[in-house]
Amino acid sequence: MKLRLLTFLLICSVGITLAGNKPGRIKVEGNKFTNEQGETVVFRGLNASDPDKLLQDGHWNEAYFE
């Protein structure tokens, strides 16, 4: 399971690197993040639990990701 996760992360990082899309500078203006053009930037992501703990507790399964 750890090998699969490591492989997945490696593939993702290589894909991002090869894409060559370097983001411009992001700065804080008031209570917002803005790019070089002054447009508001919204960061979105996933805050997942520790995979090792999930595995130990028996929760590292398809239902967790649904």
d(Cα 32, Cα 28) in Å, to the nearest integer? 6
SS3 57: helix
**Residues of the chain above pLDDT 70, percent:** 80
Cα–Cα distance measured from residue 34 to residue 42, given in angstroms and rounded to the nearest whole number: 9
- Do the Cβ atoms of 25 and 36 come closer than 8 Å? yes
pTM over 0.95: no
Quickly state the pLDDT bin for 47 (edges 50, 70, 90).
confident
Q: What is the pLDDT of residue 29?
A: 94
